[in-house]
Amino acid sequence: MVKVLTLSFAASIKKLLNLNETVNANENEEPHANGTLASSAPILTAEGEPIWKVLVFDDLGRDVISSVLRVSDLRSMGITMHM
């Protein structure tokens, strides 16, 4: 059951970082055991270019994201800034 939680948790975060568009790039993509996303393709524009995004959070939002994603993961999702 717990595996479900970590997978869904990571999936929810990934989805929100992709502006809540469902990414159907690879359904079988296996996140690591703690939900860290192995590869996270950013959503693309109609021209096939990545969309850059800014992320703004409060303390809780920061803790939620940093528990599953590292700075490099964020960058690969098109979130360009880091602390």
Regarding 50 and contact with other proteins (CB under 8 A), the answer is: yes
Closest distance to other proteins from the beta carbon of 42 (Å):
11
Q: Are 50 and 42 in contact (CB under 8 A)?
A: yes
Regarding 46 and contact with other proteins (CB under 8 A), the answer is: no
Q: Are 42 and 77 in contact (CB under 8 A)?
A: yes
Task: Return the amino acid letter for 13.
Answer: I
Regarding 76 and contact with other proteins (CB under 8 A), the answer is: no
Distance, CA of 5 to CA of 2 (rounded, Å): 5
What are the residues binding other proteins (CB under 8 A)?
1-13, 15-17, 19-20, 32-36, 45, 49-68, 70, 79-83
